[in-house]
Amino acid sequence: MRSPGSKSGSWGSRARIPRTFRIETALSSSCVRLSGRESLRVFSMHRWSKLFIPTLREAPADAEVASHKFLLRAGYIRQLGAGIYNYLFLGQRSLNKIIAIVREEMDKIGQEFYLPGILPRDAWEESGRWTGMGDNMFRLKDRKGADLCLGMTHEEIMTSIARNELRSYKQLPQIWYQIQTKFRDEPRPKGGLLRVRQFIMKDSYSFDLDKTGLDRSYELHDEVYRRIFTRCGLKFVAVEAHSGSMGGSHSQEFMVYTDAGEDLIASCPECGYAANLEKATSRLETVAEMEPTGDGKPELVQTPGCAAIADVAAFFRISPASDIKCVAYMALKRGAGGAPDRWHGVAAFLRGDHQVNETKLLGAIGAAELRTMQAEELTQYLNGPAGYLGPVGLSPDAEPLGAGLTVVVDKALAGRGNMVCGANKLDHHLRNVTPGRDFGWTLSADIRSVNEGESCPRDGCKGKLVVGKAVEVGHIFKLGYKYSESMGARVLDENGKEVTPIMGSYGIGIERILTAAIEQSNDANGFWLPPSIAPFTVVVTVTNMADAALRETGEAIAAELEAAGLDVLLDDRNERAGVKFKDADLVGIPYRINVGKKAATGQVELVTRKLSSGAKAGPEMPAAGSEDVTLSDVLIRLKEHLEEEELLLASS
């Protein structure tokens, strides 16, 4: 078909293809030839000598975490700006493999869309997130002065499609997804691809008629996510998570343990309980209460210089667990329906040996931001200096003291008695203070972080929690009605009644999968990726290109493996063997075939990178994880290895 306007015929039009065009299979390669002369396919085989794989002997000084260093050294990425990276050949190849897996699995439950990355302001106004997203959103104006932003997530856009198109319960459920570039103006990008300002995300959205439907869509995602991460070779855990600014009731994060991670996970080795620290709870041992002194009522005690918990505990000869500490914040509440945002005071009270979890606190009071109070604000809201703040005498939400102050008491203080707390007076504390009897609060909530060694919160479990760092690679949310309601998506149910669809939202960070995989499998020399996401499955290293016999053997093996459907990289560079080995160890390819001296006797070496980790190899000493294989067995043996890996994954 040719469009009416194109007289000469557009590119790809049949009539314009030269008469000499033909497809032929060359002996050594399957090249498509143009005019019988020019090869259209430059890479009939991936030859290292022709590729751009800029490996670095040394990592740039500003790379800190392992994956960052190795991604740079292996020539996967190059930095363009803070949190902005170029993905080069190997990096892009690996990402493509990850994307292919994600797509293949997602296609089982959802339909792929492709939404714009640049978005008009309107959609964001409706949900209230134009302002709600704050500085994390990249904003720009078009030539007419209209506001636009770069997409950081697509709930609004997907919901607008649903609102415009979905009319009947018969059209539900729907699961729509996309694999798309996201932009977030992170305050502090870091760790190479760990936290960046532009990244690829698979995001999906479900629309269901009711809660049962949502549960189903959520379960489907849970299942598919586990398959995706398993196929990508990640050792992951699913943990209970905080929903953050997304809103919603239930959410679960998929985490990979690594010290490079930014999240803290509490888990129980006994029962498998696992939760993000922003969400985790624990069962506390009961604390032996102190005997009341005097008449048992709150008593003012002079405590000069005891501003720190440790000082107070020492002064009273008590455990910090019997002290009540105060952390005072100013909290920002977003104005609803065009009302201005407003800062107000929040006093959080908790056990002296406990730490405030600001995410939990934010959730408890429904605020968007927190900052600690300045000295003047402490005086204004609590009439006390830092170090001597206490809950007694505060009248929440009443004039004059504590006006507008929200008093939040941690759940761990419930049922306690005869404690010590600040007296809101310099160098003074109160003892014999009992929550409920001696002071009240605006709300009582779990606002503390659990500590390692505390008891698992699950009934009947005697395990002790351990806390570890992890990277988040995926997150699934039960969103509820937040967007469908605010944006007015409605369908008619079977009774002809208008109902609001209930939504879920589900994300996977594509680069994070690569990063996490590298973090979990690296040594001093480089890293190794699972075959499923490695840019190449195997590198055929010809140890001496000057030797025609070796060269030909290498070519033959590479051709054979490629014909069998494997991704093969032939290292045909005119480099010394040592250089090639070092590079091969560095760039993440899981298998290597050394074509060297033994080729004369019909043998090559098959090296499994992960088994050679950390082992020293010398001229006379084969690398660990290396096995001699006859030429005719190379393919079979390699396939056996690959099958083993898959079995291993499936069983984990």
Partner RNA sequence: CGGGGAGUGGCUCAGCCUGGUAGAGCACCUGGUUCGGGACCAGGGGGUCGGAGGUUCAAAUCCUCUCUCCCCGACCA
User: Scanning residues 349 to 378, which ones bind RNA (CB under 7 A)?
Assistant: 358, 368-371
Residue 318 has what DSSP assignment?
-
**From CA 522, how far away is CA 560, in angstroms rounded?**
29
Residue 585 engages RNA in binding (rule: CB under 7 A)? yes
Reading the block at residue 410, the tokens are: 């941690």
Q: Which residues contact 458 (CB under 8 A, 6 or more apart)?
A: 268, 271, 273
Kind and range of the H or E run holding 355? strand 355-356
Phi and psi torsions of 384, nearest 5°: -145, 160
Of the candidate spans 60-68, 117-125, 283-291, 335-343, the one that interacts with RNA by CB under 7 A turns out to be: 60-68
Which tokens is 405 given?
A: 């102050």
**Interface residue with RNA, options 51, 386, 426, 577 (CB under 7 A):** 577
Interface positions, 129-148, toward RNA (CB under 7 A): 136
Pick from 48, 77, 79, 421 the residue near RNA by CB under 7 A. 79
Site for RNA in 199-218 (CB under 7 A): 201, 203
Q: In 3D, which of 360, 366, 356 has the Cα closest to residue 332?
A: 366
Phi then psi for residue 88, to 5 deg, are: -90, -170
**Where does this chain touch RNA (CB under 7 A) — which range of 77-85, 87-95, 422-430, 633-641?**
77-85
* Binding segment (CB under 7 A) for RNA, from list 96-104, 183-191, 345-353, 528-536: 183-191
Backbone CA torsion sign across 629, 634, 638, 640: negative
By CB under 7 A, tell whether 598 contacts RNA: yes
Q: How many residues bind RNA (CB under 7 A)?
A: 71
Residue positions counted in the chain: 652
**Interaction of residue 105 with RNA, rule CB under 7 A:** no
What does residue 527 show for φ and ψ, rounded to 5 degrees?
Answer: -140, 170
Q: CB under 7 A: which stretch of 114-122, 171-179, 462-470, 622-630 binds RNA?
A: 622-630
Nearest distance from C-beta of residue 514 to RNA, angstroms: 17
Question: Segment contacting RNA (CB under 7 A): 53-61, 279-287, 309-317, 414-422?
Answer: 53-61
Which residue's CB is nearer to RNA, number 321 or number 624?
A: 624
Residues 459/381, Cβ–Cβ less than 8 Å: no
Task: Pick the binder of RNA from 594, 606, 608, 629 (CB under 7 A).
Answer: 594
When binding is defined by CB under 7 A, the residue of 75, 233, 422, 596 that contacts RNA is 596
Closest CB to RNA among residues 150, 306: 150
When asked if residue 186 is in the footprint of RNA (CB under 7 A), the reply is yes
- Cβ neighbours around 567 below 10 Å, total: 17
When binding is defined by CB under 7 A, the residue of 146, 466, 597, 650 that contacts RNA is: 597
Residues between 445 and 464 with contacts to RNA, criterion CB under 7 A: none
**Does position 244 bind RNA by CB under 7 A?**
yes
Long-range contacts of range 646-652, CB-CB < 8 Å, 24 or more positions apart?
649/230, 649/231, 649/233, 649/530, 650/230, 652/230, 652/235
- Give the containing element (helix H, strand E) for 467: strand 466-480
Using CB under 7 A, which of 20, 49, 64, 335 touches RNA? 64
